[in-house]
Amino acid sequence: MVSIIGTGIIPFGRHLERSIVSMAIEATRRALDDAAITRDQIGACYFANALGSSLFGDTTLGQNLTSAMGMVDLPVVNVENACTSGSTAFYLARNAILAGECDIALVVGSEKMCVPDFGLINSGATELDTLLGMVTPAGFALRAKRHMHEFGTTPEQLAAVTVKSRQHASLNPIAQFTKPETTESVLASPMIVDPFTRPQCCPIADGAAALILAGDRVAAQMDRAIAIRSAVLTSGRYENPADLTRWHTDYASVALAYEKAGTTPEDVDIVECHDAFSIAEILHYEALGLCERGEGGRFVERGDASLGGKVPVNVSGGLLSRGHPISATGVAQIVELVTQLRQEAGDRQVEDCNLGVAHCMGGDKKGDTKSCTVAVLSR
């Protein structure tokens, strides 16, 4: 088994004077300090960044990091996989340790998005559907409208996702948006695309997060190591293109992750999932088996996803309140779970937290392809 022995993260937000690599260096140093190991013990580096090449012309960022850190003669893999870039790097690093390629691996996700004229993020920007307006917010809005039509999900239930997110974020010192919201304030905010108002759409951010993974020999010597029970990556076309209320890759990834971990949804104590828009979190409740399909709106409305509820979701504040620097997000989700499983989360600590699930998705625009990662961690 592979375990996580160190974590590092910097606050997500506007870091106008920072570069992608400088943020990565800070997160890496924090992870090394947390693991109480030296940089020369790192056997491989997996560096996730999605936008550096297109925005700044930056390449081989992982090598830039390791060179700056004085890490030499080790394999470095640069990873781009949309919003799952960071969690894909985590998946690859774990596989490398399981394969015996190294004993200790560094995973880093770093992204800089607060730049002038950033605009919308879209894969296939020249495709006809994008040119006709099927940009990412519109694609998620279609899913929300369909869920409302099929299952009676209400605007108030969608808003409840953001209200919960802000409540959780108020307990997280590195979250971007910590000011409380009410259902009324969320619904009265400027409309982005019906039914989403602005607080129901995740903000961009600059930021970086890092993890240090180790095999059994090393992890056995660590008092605070957290076990990776499973890590899954899937991608592809979902089964029914007309079905807007589920992603096949969500259900397939979750089922495989639970099977490999030897666990069930009933065992899950905490979840960090990809809440890029309020409807996304509701759909992920259902895919993760936290509630029946169609019940996601009622699940959040009852407080089941809140701290102290049935299964707290995105206690970090999630993408909606912590922010979404694309490649750092999947790594940050795991940092939060490790903090919780170590019982080190302070005021936002989930009681009796023994098993957590990190879920991340990426690449969805018009609804036919995407990637999805799911990891199950335990004390």
- Catalytic (active-site) positions: 83
Structure-block tokens of residue 162: 């953001």
**Cβ contact 20:206 at 8 Å:** no
Query: Residue type for 153, please?
Result: T
Q: Where are the strands (E) in 73-188, listed by range? A: 76-79, 104-111
- In this structure, the dihedral spanned by the alpha carbons of residues 151, 82, 232 and 249, taken in order and rounded to 10 degrees, is 30
Greatest alpha-carbon span in the chain: 57
d(CA 56, CA 60) in angstroms, rounded, equals 12
CA 330/CA 328 separation, integer angstroms:
6
Element (H, E) at 191: strand 191-193
The answer to whether 162 and 186 are in contact (CB under 8 A) is yes
Q: Report d(CA 331, CA 110) in Å as an integer.
A: 9
Residue carrying structure tokens 């936008």: 51
Of 8, 36, 37, the residue nearest 23 (C-alpha)? 8
CB atoms inside a 10 Å sphere around CB 30:
19
- Token pair listed for 327: 């490649």
Closest alpha carbon to 170 in 285, 296, 281, 306 = 306
Amino acid letter at 379? R
Q: What is the rounded end-to-end Cα distance, in angstroms, of the chain?
A: 13
Q: For residue 251, what are the β-bridge partners?
A: none
